[in-house]
Chains A and B, each alone.
Chain A
Amino acid sequence: MLIKTLLITTLTLSSLLAMTGQEIAQKVHDRDDGDNSIATMKMTLIDKNDNKRVRELKTFTKDKGEDKLKLMFFLTPADVKNTAFLTYDYEDSSKDDDQWLYLPELQKVKRIASSDKSSSFMGSDFTYSDMTSRNVSDYTYEIMKEPVVKGHKTWQMLVTPKSEKTIEETGYTKSIVFVRQDNFVIIQALNYIKAGNKLKYMMVNDLQLIDGVWTALEMQMVTKKGKKTLHKTIFEFSNYKYNQDLDESLFTTRTLQRGL
């Protein structure tokens, strides 16, 4: 029995040791990120003078084959309440995502055409590209080292876009990501921004296993120029539930107009 355990452990370790950056990225991509989820998201925006703005959103997510459908409603503050955002995030990177925005003061659903995903997501330090999955084949991966981050062994990888098009779309010239070796979750990432010589530090502050799915319940993104913090955003998720009875018809412009 002991020999068998040792053998399995050795085989597993050697398998892990043999993994390339590309294989790790594929594992990260293929990791089960849950389906039919509902959550409440608190978005805290903090400027360089420590002034805080807080937005609360209700989020709904559903897988449609390889594609992902996402629906978000702003709950607070009052001036953006009922603003809603619908995304069809297509796995096929050659196909542009479908996006619609509902602005309650206009009472109009407006399609957004943006293959450029480098814009700020609702005023946060996260961009639209941070909120959608990246295509593994659009990047090269180089394992730099295997540091321990917050008690967990990680792969530290340099991720470089293969094309100028990907750089234009994401706004990042390269990233250094830290992937936990036990669950293939990116727990830290340093993104190099194309414009303005700025850096963005993403950190997962609270990662928990919910219904068998590793879920980031708190994450933050800090934008820095040199050592100076320019702005930061904290996302906190609560009431995270998977496997809810979400019909595909929820993820339509009809829902944007009807509201919650």
Chain B
Amino acid sequence: MMHRVLLTFLLLFSLGASLHAQENFADDLSGFEEENSLVDTLSDDLDGFGEESISSEPEIQTPPSNLSINGNVAFKTAYGYREHDVDSVEYSGFNQAQTALYLQLNYKINSDWKLRLSGDGFYDAIYDLSAKDYNQDVLDTYKTQLRLDDTYLQGRLTPELDLKLGRQIVIWGKSDSIRITDVINPLDNRLPGITDIEDLRLSTTMAKLDYYLGSWNFSAMAIAESRIFLEAAPRGEYFPVDAVFANAPTPFIELVEPNSSLEDMQYAFAANGVFSGWDLSFYGADVLDSRWHLEGALPNAKRVVSKIQMLGSALNIAYGSWLLKSEVAYINGLKYNSTQDEKARLDALVGFDYMGISDTVLSLEIANRHIFEYESQMSGLTLGVVPDYIQEDEVQTALRTTHSFSNDTLNATLLLSTFGNHWQYGGFFRGSLEYDVRDGVVANFGVIDYLDTPLQQDKPFTHAISNNDRLYLDITYSF
């Protein structure tokens, strides 16, 4: 009897659960009816599902123009929220009111060849609105700019061989936040930590040949333009030379632009393999260094940039939601202020991207740069020697996370970039929110906090800019 009651109860319960589930489904499915009525208002030409076959004859269309002009207009402002002065100029408060224009012209010559011309300019009104007494280097560096960016002819010589001739950007390596093998283009270092990533690399004039063979691509570059990095203005907010170099001359030591001649030509080669689940690259380059060093004795010394030779490799492996990244580079020909001979350095990086969380990317990169035949005076102050403030092994860490909200309308990014194996040599933290105001209009709001170091005598530069923290806002209209 008891058995029968239990069975009946279970049957009734399961029936009830089934009915309840069906009611739930029916309730959920009613959403389609609402959408059906919505569709009718959204689209007038819904004629049901016509089963008649339609021909795929090409429609009469206006052929796309071979010429297109794109660009953007941006307004950028920043507010320093810590008091700090350099060269008797206080930099807290509003310190940027820049209007910038970028123009890009593309012309498709035929199906194989195309031409690009691009350039940008800006004017920062803060230097006219403010009564502060900025030095000429600061005005030259930050007030106005007019320059030619990517300007090249690109085409196909044979089905397997491409040529790209002109000012262009070539990116090497698999890492995103730390550069190891990415040595081809110089960087814009005027505002470290906050330069837009699309503006970070400077186009350089070269001839680049790409040969494609199966899964491999072989590149050869002859770089004719000896373009070097853009540095922060001496005695400006980001290069307070008096806090770094004792008795620094005024004006600061001249930075010599290398000649662009046949003798100074730079060369680079790469082999890139793209395979299912992994990529492998090999690089070789004889190019200009990304740093300067002193040549000659003060007061006649000059800051010069010499050539380095780099051999490197980079590897990507995709595994599930993980993208593992590694890079290694052996660099020879490095010159320093405090040593006579050239040094060699081994740079190595490991890292990963994790994409296993919806609409989120987590990224970690850790790199070490090891100088061979290191000399103790390179680390800091030694009497009669201009210091390099560089350690035998320098560890750099970059931890980044981005998350998209509201169907990619709002993107949040957090980036922590530090130096030292215990993060003891400072770095910066940046948080930013990018909001799509409407199609083509993006607002970017962020904060950057430069992290100080307790070891100020080892890294006086890091300490000197540690109060440059700021809030920033950019609004960009693209057309």
Seen from chain A, the residues whose Cβ lies within 8 Å of a Cβ on chain B are: 45, 47, 51, 53-54, 76-79, 81, 88, 95-96, 98, 105-108, 110-116, 118-120, 122-125, 144, 150-152, 158, 171, 176, 182, 187-188, 190, 192, 195, 199, 201, 203, 205-212, 218, 220, 222, 224, 227, 231, 233-234, 239-242, 249, 252-254, 258-259
A47 B56 Cβ-Cβ under 8 A: no
Residues of A near B38 (CB, < 8 A) are: 222
Cβ A79 vs Cβ B53 within 8 A:
no
Alpha-carbon distance A79/B434, docked complex (angstroms): 13
| CA A120 to CA B38, docked complex, whole Å | 23
Known: A114-B355, A210-B54, A252-B274. A79 touches B404 (CB 8 A): no
> B399 interface residue, CB < 8 Å from A?
no
Most chain B CB atoms below 10 A, which of A79, A144, A195, A254: A79
> Which residues of chain B have C-beta atoms less than 8 A from A195's C-beta?
358
Tell me the count of chain B residues lying within 8 A, CB to CB, of chain A: 70
* Contact in complex: A113, B323 (CB < 8 Å): yes
Known: A79-B72, A79-B440, A258-B154. A45 touches B321 (CB 8 A): no
In angstroms, Cα B219 to Cα A253, docked, is: 14
Check: B393 CB closer than 8 A to any chain A CB: no
Complex Cα–Cα for A108 and B170 (A): 8
Instruction: From A51, A53, A111, give the contact of B316 (CB < 8 A).
Output: A111
Q: Which residues of A contact B54 (CB under 8 A)?
A: 208-210
Within 8 A of A (CB), among B21-78: 25, 28-29, 31-32, 34-36, 38-39, 42-43, 46, 48-54, 56, 58-59, 61, 70, 72
CB distance from A175 to the nearest CB of B (A): 11
Contact (A78, B359) CB under 8 Å given A210-B54, A212-B53, A253-B274: no
A223-B59 Cα distance, complex, nearest whole Å: 34
Find out whether the CB atom of A205 lies under 8 angstroms from the CB atom of B46.
Answer: yes
Instruction: Give the docked Cα–Cα distance between A114 and B49 (Å).
Output: 35
Query: Can you list 7 residue pairs at the A/B interface with Cβ under 8 Å?
Result: A53-B439, A79-B476, A111-B279, A182-B51, A203-B35, A222-B31, A222-B35
A241, B48: Cβ atoms closer than 8 Å: no
> Is B408 part of the binding interface, using a Cβ–Cβ cutoff of 8 Å?
yes
Residue of B nearest to A144 (CB): B25
Say whether B318 contacts A113, CB under 8 Å.
yes
What residues on A are CB-neighbors of B276 within 8 Å?
88, 95, 98
Roughly how many angstroms separate A76 CA and B478 CA in the complex, as a whole number? 10
The answer to the question of B13 belonging to the interface, with a C-beta cut-off of 8 Å to chain A, is no
Whether B408 lies near A120 (C-beta < 8 A) is yes
- A234 and B42 contact, CB distance less than 8 A: yes
From A81, A190, A240, give the contact of B29 (CB < 8 A): A190
Q: Does B407 contact A (CB under 8 A)?
A: yes
Check: B409 CB closer than 8 A to any chain A CB.
Answer: yes
Given the complex of chains A and B, what is the CA–CA distance between A203 and B35 in angstroms?
9
Out of B171, B359, B408, name the residue touching A107 (CB < 8 Å): B171
In the complex, chain B residues whose CB is within 8 Å of the CB of A122: 408
In the complex, what residues of B have CB within 8 A of residue A209's CB? 51-54
Contact B197 A105, beta carbon cutoff 8 Å: yes
Pair B442/A79 contact, Cβ less than 8 Å: yes
CA–CA, A231 to B31, complex, Å? 14
Ordered nearest first, which 7 A-B pairs have the shortest CB separation?
Answer: A123-B408, A113-B318, A105-B198, A113-B323, A79-B478, A78-B478, A77-B439
How close is B171's CB to chain A, nearest CB, in angstroms? 5
- Residue interface bits B164-202, CB-to-A below 8 A is 1, else 0: 000001010000100000000000000000000110010
Given contact pairs A78-B72, A199-B28, A253-B274, A113 touches B322 in the complex (Cβ within 8 A): yes
CA distance A45 to B70 in the complex (A): 23
**Considering only CB atoms, which chain B residue lies closest to A208 in the complex?**
B54
Does B9 belong to the interface (CB within 8 Å)?
Answer: no
On chain B, the residues within 8 Å of A187 by CB distance are 49
CB pair B56–A211 under 8 Å, yes or no, is yes
Picked from A47, A96, A108, A152, the residue with its CB within 8 Å of the CB of B277 is A96
Cβ contacts under 8 Å, B58 to chain A: 239, 241
Q: How far is the CA of A258 from the CA of B25 in the complex (A)?
A: 49
B323 & A77 in contact (Cβ 8 Å cutoff): no
Asked whether B439 lies within 8 Å of A47 as measured between CB atoms, the reply is no
**Other A-B pairs, 12, CB within 8 Å; known A113-B321, A203-B39:** A76-B439, A95-B276, A113-B319, A119-B358, A182-B51, A190-B31, A192-B28, A199-B31, A201-B35, A203-B35, A206-B49, A252-B274
Q: Which residues of B sit under 8 angstroms from A150, Cβ to Cβ?
A: 36, 48-49
Known: A190-B28, A190-B29, A201-B35. A113 touches B408 (CB 8 A): no
Docked Cα-Cα span, A188 to B29, in Å, equals 10
**CB of A44 to closest CB in B, whole Å:** 9
Q: Which of A108, A112, A120, A231 contacts B323 (CB 8 A)?
A: A112
Q: A47-B407, A116-B356 known; A254 and B217 CB under 8 Å?
A: yes
Query: In the bound complex, what is the Cα–Cα distance between A38 and B373 (angstroms)?
Result: 59
| Interface-centre pick from A76, A115, A205 (highest chain B CB count, 10 A) | A205
